[in-house]
Structure 1
Amino acid sequence: MSIGNSPEDDQPSIEDDRPSIGRLLHQARIESGLTADEVSATTRVRVPIVHAIEQDDFARSGGDVYARGHIRMIARAVGLDPDPLVAQYDAEHGGRPAPTPAAPLFEAERIRADPRRPNWTAAMVAAIVAVVGFVGFTLFSGDDKAGSGQVAQAPAAEKSTPAKAPAKPADPKPDPSDSAIAAVPKDKVTVKLSVLDDKSWISAKSHNGKMLFDGTLAKGESKTFQDDERIDLILGNAGAIELYVNGKKVEDRFDTGQVERLSYTKGDPQAG
C-alpha cells in the first residue's frame, strides 16, 4: 500500500499549461524576424510598452481598454489572430464592460427643435394673414354705406402691408443636406465613425470617462457618439475609418494599421 497524491492531483491544469499572452507575442515576433523597434514603428506602440506586454505586464498600457488595443495591434504586426488573445486577456482580467449604444441618443437629439431660435417665417406669415383677414372683414361687414366707407380705407391697409414685409423678410429656406449629420445640435459634440475598408477596433468615452463603445467594426459599419462636452477616441487601424465631427468631415490622413488617440469638443473638427 502506497501513499501519494490522488489522480486528480496528478492531472495537469489546462489553464496553467496554456502559454501566456506575452509569451505568445514574444515567440511570434522572434519567429517573424522582427525587433521590438520594428513592431513599435508599425503599431505606434512605444518600445517599453511592447517589452512590458511580452513580459505579461499590462500596467504600463494605462488600463484595460488600452491594453486590448495594444494586444490587437501587436498581434497583427507579428502575424497572430488577435481575437483569441483578447479573449484570454478578458478571461484573466475580469472581462470587459458592455458597450453603451449611442445611436438612439443621437436620433433623439437630431429631431429636437432648438427652442432658442425664433421662427421669423411663421411670425411674418401670421402677421400677413391677420392684415388680410382684417381687410376682408371691413369689406364685407355692416351696411352699404359703412361698407363703402371701409372700402375707402382698404387701400391704406393694403399699402401698409408691403411696408411691414421688408422690415423683417422671411428667412430663406435652407438647402436640404446630403447627410443627416449636418443637423447636429450646436450645444453638443457629435462624432460619427464609418469603416470604409477592412475593419477597425474602436474605443469611445464621454468627457466624464463613461465608456460609450469598445469593440470592432467591420467594413460598412458605422457608429455615432454624442456628449455635452467632449468625446475621447482610440482608433485602431485608423486608415480604414471615415470620421465626421459636428457634421464636418475630418480631413486628417491616417495610415492603415495606425493607432490614433483623439479628443473632440463642440468647437472642432480639429484634434484636441
Structure 2
Amino acid sequence: MSIGNSPEDDRPSDDDRLDRQARPAAETPAADGWAADRRADEPKIGDVLRQARVRAGLTVDEVSTSTRVRVPIVHAIEADDFSRCGGDVYARGHIRTLARAVGLDPAPLIAQYDAGHGGHPPVPTPAAPLFEAERIRSEPRRPNWTAAMVAAIVAVIGFVGFTAFSGGDDEGGGTKSMAEGAAPASSKPAVKPKPNKPADPKPDPSDSAIAGVPRDKVTVKVNAADGRSWISAKDHSGRTLFDGVLEEGQAKTFQDKKKIDLILGDAGAIELYVNGKQVENEFEPGQVERLTYTKGDPEVG
C-alpha cells in the first residue's frame, strides 16, 4: 500500500492537453506582423523612381519638363513624401506619370501605394441618382386647348359684331354727307405707302457651330461634366491662364493665337471641345493628363 498519489493522478487531464495544444499557436508570430515585415523589406516607391531616373540618365529638371510635374513635387515623391500631391488621386496620377517617364510599369508602384496608404482606386459614380432625378422631374404642363378655342370663338364673335355695328353707322353717315355736300379736301398730301423692304436673310440653321470659332486662334473649352477636377491652362508663352479646381458642372474657355497647354488632374471627369469640336477621349477617372492643342483640327500636341 503506497502513500501518495496514484498513477492515475499523474495522468494529464483534459484541460492540460488543451493548454498544450493552444500554447504553440499563441507563440506563433501573427500574420499581420509577417506581412508588415515583408512590406518593410520592399524598396520604397520614391527609391524605385529615383533609381530608374538615374539609370535613364535624366535629371529632376528634365523629368519635370517632360511630365509637367513641378520640381518640388518630384523631389518629394522621390523622398517617398506624397503630402504635396494634394490627395490620393493626384498621388496615383503623379506616380503613373513619373514611372512612364523613366521607363517603368506604373501598375506595381500604384498597387504598393494603395497597400501602404490604405487607399483604393477611385470607383466611378453610378448613374442611378441621375436617372432617379430624371424620373422625379415634373411633367411639363400641356396647353389647355379647350380654353384657347373658347377664347378664339369669343374673339371672332366680338369682331363680327363690331364690324356690323360700325358698317351701319358708316352707311348712314355717308348718305348725310352726300346730301349736305362734298367734304373739303385735306390740305395735307396723301402719304404714299412705302415699298416693303426685303427682310435680312436669316442665317442658315445648318451652319456648324465651329463657324463661330476664329480660325487664326486656338480655342479650348474645358467642361467638368462628370465631377470636380483640378485644371491648369497656359498660353504659348507659358503664362498661366487658369490654375484651380472646376466644380462639377462648371466650364472654362481658353484662347491663344498659337497653342494652349493643359494639365487635367482628373481627366476622366472632363469633356474637351477644341476649335468647336468635341474631343473623344478614353481617360480613366483619377488619371492625370497633360495635353497641348494648336490651331486646326483637335490634335494632342
TM-score class, shorter: 0.3 to 0.5
In our comparison, the structure showing a higher alpha carbon Rg is: 2
How does the TM-score come out when normalised to structure 1? 0.45
